[in-house]
Structure 1
Amino acid sequence: MAAGNVDFRTCNYTTARDPRVILLEDMDQFEVQVFEAYHQRGFPRVVVNYAGLITAVSYEAKKLGINRDATPRAQDALKICRNLILIQQPQDADIKLKEASYKIRLAVDSVLQSLNPPPVFQYSSPDESYIDITAYIDSMEERYGYDNLVHQDLKYWENCSQEVRLIYGSLIGARIIKKILQATNYQSSIGIGCNKSIAKIGSALHKPGSITILAPTGLQQFAEFVKIEGISGLGGKLGDVIKHKFGVETMLDLQNVRHVRLAKTVTFNGNWIGYEKATVILNKAYGLCDDEVVPIKYASTATVSHQFYGHTFTRTQYMTEILELYVDKMLERLHFEKRNHNRTPTTLKFSIFLTNRNNIHAKLENVMWHEINNKGKMIDSFGYDNTSIIPQYWDKNAQVDKVQIVAKFADNPTQVYAVSAFSFMF
């Protein structure tokens, strides 16, 4: 059944069947695992940045009521748990997370390449990825037959071939979890379903270190307790708007929202949700999702960023400190990409986000690896004085047109809100 053709008045769970077998591999408390010491495991712990803000929370700490919304600062969390372990976020946190993610991808890939045909792998974020093993399950059924594929204990599932296919997929999931643990010592969880939306819901239900299968025949049961924020795409502001507008809390509640009313709901940015997006949202409430698993091995962008909290800079001081800091981090990241992924960036964008939310961009086009491998040359390519950044050309040997600045600094010192420095498109 195509997602766009669902009649929400008559849709039932048995008709929402999909022959696909899709896994979502999701790392458990990823940032905590990467930065913690081994002896700290099992205790309540949080990751704290240099400003004292909590960036990640362990499951043990969450059980005590500690989370980034209710207790954004470490001092707030310590009031709840005096024995809370504070893990200091390292300065090269983004590099460490990328390196950990790379090791995880290698572990997953080693399992997938042993299957014939190899499943489709889609990188989603540093700590999660989708895997479509439908073709592999199909080939196993064709090669050995259904009776030989199914364990004797499962043969009483009469007319439940899709459920059995999902259960067989859990064997692949178990191999992936085991391989990741052996290669990195990190725990992970896997959700298995007939589409990406269901697999994502399953991956979060029984963390940590679990495999959760959500079969079509069980959609009615789990829809009653899956929270709105557990549905893909509704974990942020959009989900909050829908919950507040319609008073819904669960996936089952969302099914009772009329399509027309949802489409005309005004979102946080002042726009309507619209008919098409409302259709997608209600489809997911019924366990339907047409999104394909697209083969993507790595992220298409590499970003080095850093947060500043209330620091005030003059023009020259600001540019000098920012460029020195981010050129070092950027070069380290690019060496990692070249060494591990054998790829070089094609576009460089330098962005500064200020308290007034104005953006200042400098863009270098067709930047090649050997041209941005020199720290001094990169810094010199950005000219600046006390009032503005001056566009400058690179030397003729560099295959770069020019650096363009689309805005100027104000004359007075500016309080920096945040900086996302060098972002590359591959």
Structure 2
Amino acid sequence: MPVAKPESSDARVIAHIDMDCFYVQVEQRKQPELRGLPTAVVQYNSWKGGGLIAVSYEARKFGVKRSMRGDEAKYVCPEIQLVQVPVAHGKADLKIYRNAGSEVVSILARKGRCERASIDEVYLDLTDAAETMLAENPPESLEDINDEALKSHIVGLAEDGSDVKEKVKNWLCRTDASHRDKLLACGALIVAELRAQVFMETEFTCSAGIAHNKILAKLTSGMNKPAQQTVVPSVSVKELLAPLPIKKMKQLGGKLGDSLKSNLGVSTIGDLLQFSTEKLQECYGINTGTWLWNIARGISGEKVEGRILPKSHGSGKSFPGPHALRTIGLVEHWLNELCQELSERLVADFEQNKRIAHTLTLNARAYMLRDTNSQKKFPSKSSPLRYGIAKIQEDALNLFHAGIHDYMGSYASKGEKNQNNGWGITALSVSASKIFTIPRGTGTIMNFFPTQSLACCASPQLSGDASMHEVVQLTAAEIESGSKEFTTAKESIGGIPGMYPRDQKRKIQEDKGIGSIMGFFEVPVQSCPSLNQEPHEETSRSSGHGSESCWQKNQAESQNRLLYGEQPQCLSVGPTMNPQEGKRKKLQGTSSILRFLKSSKYSTHDRIEIFQEPCVPSSSGEMRARGSGGSERGEWSYKANEIDPTVIDELPPHIQQEVWSWLKQSHSSKPSSSTITRYFFPPK
């Protein structure tokens, strides 16, 4: 529904850039021999030569239209060159066109706030650039005007005669013009320069509309194609809009436009001028009625969003007529293809732009085979987005089942879940939306854990940017719930020393090496000669001066096992430390996450030794006291074959490898009677 937004009191300069038959230009750049020849880009579907999706201006002169198919185009223009669009996942692959559009956007964004509307359309807010130019180098002071600017079309300016360029130059350089028109003149000069720059760097031509708002700029960018631009002064808005059919105006080409024509007899925008605000609000509500009144006068306050990257990613395919999908198997096949393409784009977006999507949405068009009034719309279904091809495919299929159940209504209960009860699918699409950028400087989740000093060895440091493997394993719901915390992390936890990753990073690098998550767990030590000895001050002192203690040896051995793939000798978890142990705990090393797993195949003697503090003297009585009461918790263990493999798949890859290695070793050993409940700490 259109939203009425008040127009700013300050004059704005908005440009809409529209590439000229863009897909053809991209193909002509790849194959320069096609330049100047009638050319068309066709779909991958070869039926009747494929449907045309882009037609060059040379081909249009022969009467070739986009609504034609390849065979028909060849009949109209035998010389036409047909180029098939690239294919991937059984559908058109628009990646090369998308990337080419990004080249253009990067050039246009140099001069102002840029909003990418589609692959080949861009909005520009040039207000600041125009104001600067007017203050420092106004058009009337220029000795030479860009030839591209002189080819501009000024709405309301007569173009008859041979001195059109001179008329345009006089309009651009008027000294008695209003401030608003002077800004438009500056905008015209800036856009002409940008269009020339785009052609020089990319070999692509484009057309443009320059006006005081987005609606007028969009309306005029296609009026004079190719490779030209049109300017709309304020005094010429009524002249431009009055004869315009309502279907040509943005947001009036559908049901709202039909309603205006049938209920009010409105055929052109000029016809709307006879209706008051009250009448339009009475018929269409306050919001839509106000918007209609404004649009008839060329008034719009819609802003240009500073967005170069797309707001969503999508992949879809149509199955018209006899190609309609009528089995769950076919639907699943095409959903898998679409989801694979979507996943590839999501991963590329993350790697290039550090962005994560939150929501997965499925849309479809369907019909009932035996329903004479099959106009019921297939419901759109959404769910939190989980990264990974298999997960996206699974969720998309579940969404389809939910949608077809709602679409079928009472018919759905008459058959099995995978049985077709008389429906057909003519279009499928999956999309990812609610995309947020990971704030710059955000590190891995490890940076939010308390740091520990390493006495004898340092782990490789992680990058300051979050890696794909760590970030994408968060569910969409988790990401969404924490998105606001990401953006306000500095403010919300700024008062807690060392908690914000960027502030903490330098300290971590100075104090210790940042390794994997395994670095935050204890070292499993099977035995230690000094286990039952009293602590000596000399021992701890010598540790800081390079002498190799028992603990250091075990620590080094543990690190070597991790680095070189050796299997850990034991898997167990001991009681947590009490506050009095905190000081000496800092001296301990770090090792594998398997430290928190307990294998039942080892003897009681081994277990007791493992649970002692590594190389820190402690009596067995003291250990029993800690394990049985006070502030400490006891030990639990579990059966290895009771681990859900899907849980392991959620771990980072390097930890997955270690856990799988242990499970393989555990399966080869004799089964024990321990249960999974022994793995968890009991309640206090």
TM-score range for the pair, normalised by the shorter chain length: 0.7 to 0.9
Q: Which of 202, 222, 230 lines up with 1:204 in the alignment?
A: 222
The CA distance in 2 between the partners of 1:246 and 1:76, in whole Å, is 40
Tell me which amino acid in the other structure corresponds to 1:334.
L
1:165-203 per-residue CA deviation (whole Å, 9 max, x = no partner) reads 211111211222123223332221111111112211221
Bigger radius of gyration: 2
Q: Give the corresponding residue for 2:23.
A: 31
Q: What's the secondary structure of 1:182's corresponding residue?
A: helix
3-state SS, counterpart of residue 336 of structure 1 = helix
CA contact (8 A) 2:108 2:114 kept: no
1:116 aligns with none
**Which residue of structure 2 aligns with residue 398 of structure 1?**
none
| Of 425, 429, 432, the match for 1:420 | 429
User: Corresponding residue for 1:325?
Assistant: 337
Of Structure 1 and Structure 2, which has the larger fraction of its residues in helix?
A: 2
Q: For the residues of structure 2 that align with 1:280 and 1:195, how far apart are their CA atoms? A: 14
Residue matched to 1:98: 98
> Is the contact between residue 14 and residue 127 of structure 2 (CA under 8 Å) also seen in structure 1?
yes
1:18-57 aligned within 5 A: 19-35=11-27, 37-49=31-43, 50=45, 51=47, 52-57=50-55
After the TM superposition, which residues 6-405 of structure 1 pair with which residues of structure 2 at under 5 Å, given as runs? 19-35=11-27, 37-49=31-43, 50=45, 51=47, 52-63=50-61, 65-68=63-66, 71-91=67-87, 92-109=92-109, 111-112=110-111, 119-143=112-136, 156-223=174-241, 226-239=244-257, 241-242=259-260, 250-256=268-274, 273-309=284-320, 310-313=322-325, 315-356=327-368, 359=378, 363-365=382-384, 367=386, 371-372=387-388, 375-376=389-390, 378-379=392-393
**Cα distance change on mapping 1:135 and 1:380 into 2, 3 Å:** closer
Pick closer, same or farther for the CA change 1:258–1:355 going to 2, 3 Å. same
Instruction: Note closer, same or farther for the CA distance 1:100–1:220 as it changes in structure 2 (3 Å cut).
Output: same
User: Which whole-Å CA distance do the structure 2 matches of 1:321 and 1:185 have between them?
Assistant: 40
Matched residue, 1:115: none
Residues 358 and 138 of structure 1, relative CA distance in 2, 3 Å threshold: closer
Q: How far apart in 2 are the matches of 1:383 and 1:216?
A: 52
Which string of whole-angstrom CA distances, capped at 9 and with x for unpartnered residues, describes residues 226-265 of structure 1? 443443323445445545666655444443456566556x
Cross-structure match for 2:512: none
Give the equivalent residue in structure 1 for 2:514.
none
Distance 1:346 1:5 in 2: 32
Residue identity over aligned pairs, in percent, reads 25
Q: Distance in 2 between matches of 1:382 and 1:288?
A: 42
Cα 1:320–1:336, aligned 2, differ >3 Å: closer, same or farther? same
Cα distance 1:106–1:250, how it changes in 2: closer, same or farther (>3 A)? same
2: CA distance, partners of 1:296 / 1:225: 33
Task: Indicate conservation of the 8 Å contact 1:337/1:343, yes or no.
Answer: yes
Q: More displaced, 207-216 or 282-291? A: 282-291
**Deviation per CA, 1:314-339, whole angstroms, max 9, x where unpaired?**
64522442133123312332233224
Which gives a bigger RCO, structure 1 or 2 (Cα 8 Å, sep 6+)? 1
The separation in 2 between residues aligned to 1:279 and 1:390, in whole angstroms, is 41
Name structure 1 gaps, 5 residues minimum.
7-15, 113-118, 265-271, 392-403
Q: Could you report, residue by residue, the CA deviation over 1:198-240 in whole angstroms, capped at 9, with x for unpaired residues?
A: 2112211111111211111333443355443443323445445
Contact kept? 2:139, 2:185, Cα under 8 Å? no
d(CA) in 1 for partners of 2:420 and 2:6?
57
Kindly indicate whether the alpha-carbon contact (under 8 Å) linking 1:141 and 1:149 is maintained by their aligned counterparts in 2: no
Name the CA shift for 1:208/1:146 in 2 (closer, same or farther; >3 Å): closer
Name the counterpart of 2:491: none
Aligned residue among 388, 392, 411 for 2:420: 411
Residue 302 of structure 1, CA deviation:
0.6
**Structure 2 residue ranges without an equivalent (≥5):** 145-168, 369-375, 408-416, 436-684
Over 3 Å counting, the alpha-carbon distance change for 1:390 and 1:284 in structure 2 is closer
Q: TM-score, normalised by structure 1?
A: 0.73
Q: What is the rounded CA distance, in whole Å, between the counterparts of 2:120 and 2:39 in structure 1?
A: 19
Shift of 1:22: 1.2
User: Which secondary structure state, in structure 2, belongs to the residue aligned with residue 205 of structure 1?
Assistant: coil
Task: Give the TM-score of the pair, scaled to structure 2.
Answer: 0.48
Contact 1:177 1:188 in 2 (8 A): yes
Q: Verify the 8 A CA contact 1:46 1:54 in the aligned structure 2.
A: yes
* 1:120-150, Cα deviation, whole Å (9 max, x unpaired): 2222222222211212333344456897589
Secondary structure of 1:329's aligned partner:
helix
Contact kept? 2:139, 2:173, Cα under 8 Å: no
C-alpha distance in structure 1 between counterparts of 2:16 and 2:173, whole Å: 26
* Paired residue secondary structure (2:355): coil
Please give the root-mean-square deviation of Cα atoms over the aligned residues, in Å: 3.9
Q: Is the 8 A contact 1:17 1:216 kept in 2?
A: no
The one-letter amino acid of 1:40's match is L
Contact 2:138 2:186 (8 Å CA) reproduced: no
Report the Cα distance in structure 2 between the residues aligned to 1:297 and 1:132, rounded to whole angstroms. 13
Instruction: Specify the SS of the correspondent of 2:204.
Output: coil
SS across alignment from 2:94: helix
Q: 1:235 to 1:389 in 2, by over 3 A?
A: closer
Change (3 A) 1:409 1:96: farther
Match of 2:492 in 1: none
Which amino acid is the alignment partner of residue 102 of structure 1?
A: S
**2: CA distance, partners of 1:41 / 1:262:** 50
Task: Provide closer, same or farther for how the CA distance between residues 83 and 164 of structure 1 changes in structure 2, counting only shifts above 3 A.
Answer: same
Q: Summarize the Cα distance change of 1:377–1:420 in structure 2 as closer, same or farther, 3 Å threshold.
A: closer
Q: Which has the higher strand share?
A: 1
Q: 2:173, 2:331 → 1: CA distance?
A: 68
Aligned-partner SS, 1:138: helix
Distance 1:29 1:100 in 2: 13
Cα distance in structure 2, aligned partners of 1:273 and 1:150: 53
